[in-house]
Structure 1
Amino acid sequence: MAKRNLNDLLAFVTVARERSFTRAAGTLGVTQSALSQAVRGLEERLQIRLLTRTTRSVSPTPAGERLMQAIGHRFDEIEAELDALTELRDKPAGTVRITCGDHILRSVLLPRLAPVLRDYPEINVEFDVSYGLRDIVADRFDAGVRLGSTIDKDMIAVPIGPVLRMAVVGSPDYFARHAIPLTPDDLTAHQCINQRMPTSGGLYVWDFERRGRQVNVRVDGQLIFNTAPPQVDAALAGLGLALLPEDELMPHIEAGELVRVLEDWCPTFTGYHLYYPSRRQPSPAFSLVLKALRRG
């Protein structure tokens, strides 16, 4: 029996995962036409359509989904084993892919990983800044960063930051024009800066707790963002009240640029964790990244 060329199978798996010939071509470092030809050749040899193509999207057919389930993880296992071989080198090498938010990237990940990158020039780290709940297995990330309470139970979660509190803030100029809220219910009379949740598509509901009493408030305002930095900028500009983790706001609070309110309604909660699949053997490069990020 003639041996099959596995390149066309890898091409199919990559396109099926990326749901795009353009993105898959970029991932594999080949032209889009070469990738399309490889997948078409595989379909012709198998005499069955594996992908449904439209002008806007690509998705696996039932046969393609079955093939993905059968062989997709095999390529992951091969890649993981090739990464593991770097432990036999003088110095670890390879790429570590992490999905995270922008604030934790700037405040924790980059500062702690800088020494690793200097000491191990053949280790590369790719960051994907995203506020959505990414599926790190399906999207082929080595790890993600989320608040500990939102991580799936089948993941290994390692704390990389302290416990956190939320903070409601407004500028001195804003409070010169509006009364300071004394209870969460008072927020309904204020201009509040909303955040669109990337996963659900809904607006974030501001939640508070004091002495065992929980209060959820659907706030209103003229501004809606899907990331944190513009919310900070809008609050500094006096355009409304913002609710964000206090570590993102503390420099402005301490400088007197923002005024904190409702502090007694904001309890502590589990901080940021690096999480990764329990089933995958970490590569030497990832082990060094994990060691550098682990909170002592």
Structure 2
Amino acid sequence: MKTVKIIGVPEHFNLPWHLAIEEGAFEERGIDLTWTDIPEGTGKMCELLKSQETDLAIILTEGIVKSITEGNKVKIIQEYIASPLLWGIHVDANSTYKTLEELKDTTAAISRFGSGSHLMAYVQAKQMGWNTEKLKFNLVNNLNGAIESLTTSKSDYFMWERFTTKPLVDSGIFRHLGNCPTPWPCFVLVGTNDFLFKNRSLVKHIQEVINTYTVEFKQIPSIDRTLANRYKQKLEDIQEWLHLTQWSQQQLLEHKLVKVQDTLKELNLINGSIKTTEILY
């Protein structure tokens, strides 16, 4: 049995992995796939990949592309979620902010520098026509840190996956002002170069298992109820999310990767683009 370490956020996107692990699908291939939740998100996962504390990760596309251009020895194995991520833009429920326009020149809470909450603040600011050089950030690590930061007015707004934060809106902790979808497929499966070089056939087995699960995921009987119960979401919210979400079994297309790099470069978040062959497995 070969032990393989994989990390990802504790969100509904990753249920196919947990089902495959729980049902012994990887064990049948001689793989002990060990999953670790990383609530801090992409910035933290980039650090764990860089220090080789994990072999694989399900991670935000823009975050890992930025990290790879900065020297993180990682490659994208394949696209995992083909659809955009819907980033909700939130403020404290008791704040005076009523519109997105009022957030100009205020402070955004972010989980890590280089995380999705950090990078997408730039994308959202650009869409609003704001000067991105005036963006201000407060590091909060995770969702609980964001709650504390907004409640105590250390930060003014927080961007996080819309459906994960919806219960906080419903319970009167956050107020939702709008959405900012990623202009590209949102999640990819990645691995460290060292692991990929040494385990080519093993990686193929892992891909075959997870792709079998994702291609049939929406057809699982009562999967909406399973997701709602497991992730403490309203059934109608999960149904909307399932309708919007498309899993992928293919490699990330080169032109989509070029768009990610071009956008990051335009926002001065990376110094320059690198060849797609240095990013794709």
TM value normalised by structure 1: 0.49
State which of 100, 114, 117 in structure 1 corresponds to 2:19: 114
Aligned residue number for residue 139 of structure 1: 52
Match of 2:140 in 1: 225
| CA 231–282 in structure 1, closer or farther in 2 if over 3 Å, else same | farther
Residue 6 of structure 2 aligns to a residue whose secondary structure is strand
Identity %: 12
Q: Please say if residues 20 and 210 of structure 2, whose CA atoms lie closer than 8 Å, have aligned partners that are also in contact.
A: no
Contact 1:98 1:125 in 2 (8 A): yes
Higher helix share: 2
Higher relative contact order (Cα pairs below 8 Å, separated by 6+ residues) = 2
Once residues 204 and 242 of structure 1 are traced to their aligned partners in structure 2, the CA distance between those partners, rounded to angstroms, is: 12
Counterpart of 2:109 in structure 1 is 193
Q: Secondary structure at the match of 2:58?
A: strand
1:134-189: CA deviations, max 9, x gaps?
A: 47487174322222233349532222363113222123322xxx2434426x443x
Describe how 1:97-176 pairs up with structure 2 within 5 A. 97-100=5-8, 104-110=9-15, 112-120=17-25, 122=27, 123-128=31-36, 129=38, 131-134=44-47, 136=49, 139=52, 141-149=54-62, 150-151=64-65, 152=68, 154-160=75-81, 162-174=83-95
C-alpha change, 1:204 and 1:195, in structure 2 (3 Å) is farther
CA distances 1:60-79 after superposition (whole Å, capped 9, x unpaired): xxxxxxxxxxxxxxxxxxxx
Tell me how far apart the structure 1 counterparts of residues 142 and 108 of structure 2 sit (CA, whole Å): 15
Paired with 1:268 and 1:120, the residues of 2 have a C-alpha distance of 32
Once residues 121 and 25 of structure 2 are traced to their aligned partners in structure 1, the CA distance between those partners, rounded to angstroms, is 43
Distance 1:218 1:272, change over 3 A: same
* Secondary structure in 1 matching 2:23: helix
Q: Which residue of 2 aligns with 1:29?
A: none
Residues 1:269 and 2:269 are matched in the alignment: no
Judged with a 3 Å threshold, the aligned counterparts in structure 2 of structure 1 residues 242 and 212 are, in CA distance, closer, same or farther, namely closer
Aligned length: 189
Match of 1:259 in 2: 175
RMSD: 4.0
Determine the structure 2 residue equivalent to 1:66.
none
Quote the Cα distance in structure 2 between the aligned partners of 1:289 and 1:235.
Answer: 41
Indicate the structure (1 or 2) with the bigger Cα radius of gyration.
1
The alpha carbon displacement at 1:98 in A equals 1.1
Distance between the aligned counterparts of 1:282 and 1:112, measured in 2?
19
Q: Aligned with 1:250: secondary structure?
A: helix
* CA distance in structure 2 between the partners assigned to 1:121 and 1:243 by the alignment: 34
Q: CA deviation at 1:197?
A: 2.1
Equivalent residue runs for 1:1-296 within 5 Å: 93-100=1-8, 104-110=9-15, 112-120=17-25, 122=27, 123-128=31-36, 129=38, 131-134=44-47, 136=49, 139=52, 141-149=54-62, 150-151=64-65, 152=68, 154-160=75-81, 162-174=83-95, 178-183=96-101, 186-188=103-105, 190=106, 192-197=108-113, 206-207=121-122, 208-209=124-125, 213=129, 215-216=131-132, 217-219=134-136, 224-232=139-147, 234-235=149-150, 240-254=156-170, 257-263=173-179, 266-270=180-184, 271-276=186-191, 277=193, 279=197, 280-283=199-202, 286-287=206-207, 289-291=209-211, 292=213, 295-296=247-248
Distance in structure 2 (CA, Å) of the matches to 1:140 and 1:107: 24
> Alpha carbons of 1:257 and 1:109: their partners in 2 closer, same or farther (altered >3 Å)?
same
TM-superposed CA distance for 1:293, in Å, is 5.2
The TM-score with structure 2 as length reference comes to 0.51
Residue type of the partner of 2:92?
Answer: S
Structure 2 unaligned spans of 5+: 69-73, 216-246, 249-281
How many Å separate the matches in 2 of 1:253 and 1:141? 33
* 3-state secondary structure, aligned to 1:98: strand
Instruction: In structure 1, give the amino acid aligned to 2:78.
Output: A
Structure 1's consecutive aligned runs of 4 or more residues displaced over 6 angstroms after TM superposition are: 236-239
